[in-house]
Structure 1
């Protein structure tokens, strides 16, 4: 993948700012409105992102101290935290979102250079170096800022982030069943192994990113047909 550690730190700051601007001024009714994620309100999305910051702060603590600190106590606790958070008044939910993001940023800034190579375990059970933490966070804040459906779109995200997001999504999808694809954006091409002859799917970079991550998109095959349906991204 083409992303660097410095890239991911920059994208975290960009995405956090976009997320906070996207919720700025939302009242209780606006938070209760539907997000772009089926079955989730904007408050669900905001609570999920706040809880994610706290979970990734656990991994920063793990890297800093060597003390195993899982992201979440359990899947049930994770879901319960989101449900509790989405019921908060708008001011409290926004404050939690900002406070948790600030704490994570402070923890990452304080982490010594030698500790970034420490191994930690993600919520999906993957063992990764701590240098992956900013990438995990940048993905959360950038994509979910768009999912809030308050005006930001994938086209507003940095092109190099979108390229890295497509790299990541293709790598994940290559390990699961699905159609074979050649994905062509103006600045990059991806080959996704799968079933059958590869369908050639074209679109703008943000359209390809939306398609690969299960967001609304309209990329087409070269013969003008809709792109093949894909399974879940994460």
Structure 2
């Protein structure tokens, strides 16, 4: 399923649903829980939360600029973003929870305005997306960073169509990069995509949600299997 065929309203609803799930996880964190490390080098759970806050604010800014007829990049410089995240991460758990909630709520109210908007937005890595895919970008970061929190959340809770859309979104975003091994991903639900520039990619099959978590975060799954070298399964 190409990402441009994923119903816009379904994505916006999924952003709301998965933001709620993430907030339901973080509301139970103690100050000690917030300080625990994550799989992201040098980042604690507080850093992940601060990054999500900054991500929501950046998208709110971009939507506002689109309303004014201005096209811009999604994020600022890496140095500016790093500083904002470091400052946000030193806030207490309650302050982080409030910022997560309020920034996400503000963004959620604006996302419906992007329906059908094909103006391009430039992401930091140079990849461009149409404005109507901003909700998909937000959903992706909410789901992946929920995984990073290492708090008993699994990508398997994703609806199949949403998992397919997120997998296709990420494959399209990183597919041209040569820092990924050559991989051909075949989702059980009916999607096929390739990452890495090298020829003869290794082929892996599995549910879209499992492939997404494995590709983006290295989460192993017994439901992912490699095709035989002779082309058979």
The interval holding the TM-score normalised by the smaller chain is 0.7 to 0.9
Q: Does 1:221 align with 2:226?
A: yes
Question: 1:131/1:94 Cα in 2 relative to 1: closer, same or farther (>3 Å)?
Answer: same
Which one of 190, 212, 219 corresponds to residue 188 of structure 1? Answer: 190
Structure 1 unaligned blocks of 5 or more: 225-234
Q: Number of matched residues?
A: 222
Deviations 1:10-33 (A, max 9, x none): 221122111111111212111001
Structure 2 counterpart SS, 1:184: strand
SS of 1:201's partner is strand
2:217 alignment partner, SS class = coil
- State the alpha-carbon separation in 1 of the partners of residues 71 and 169 from structure 2: 26
- Residue 76 in structure 1 maps to residue 79 in structure 2: yes
Q: Distance in 2 between matches of 1:103 and 1:97?
A: 10
Contact kept? 1:202, 1:221, Cα under 8 Å? yes
Aligned residue runs from structure 1 range 77-226, under 5 A: 77-109=80-112, 111=113, 116-177=117-178, 179-192=181-194, 194-218=197-221, 219-223=224-228
- TM-score of the superposition, structure 1-length normalised? 0.83
RMSD over equivalenced CA pairs, Å: 2.5
Q: Give the distance between the partners of 1:209 and 1:112, measured in 2 at CA.
A: 25
Q: Unaligned regions of 5+ residues in structure 2, if any?
A: none
Give the C-alpha shift of residue 207 in structure 1.
Answer: 2.2
Instruction: Output the CA distance in 1 between the equivalents of 2:125 and 2:96.
Output: 26
CA shift for structure 1 position 138:
1.0
TM (norm. structure 2) is 0.83
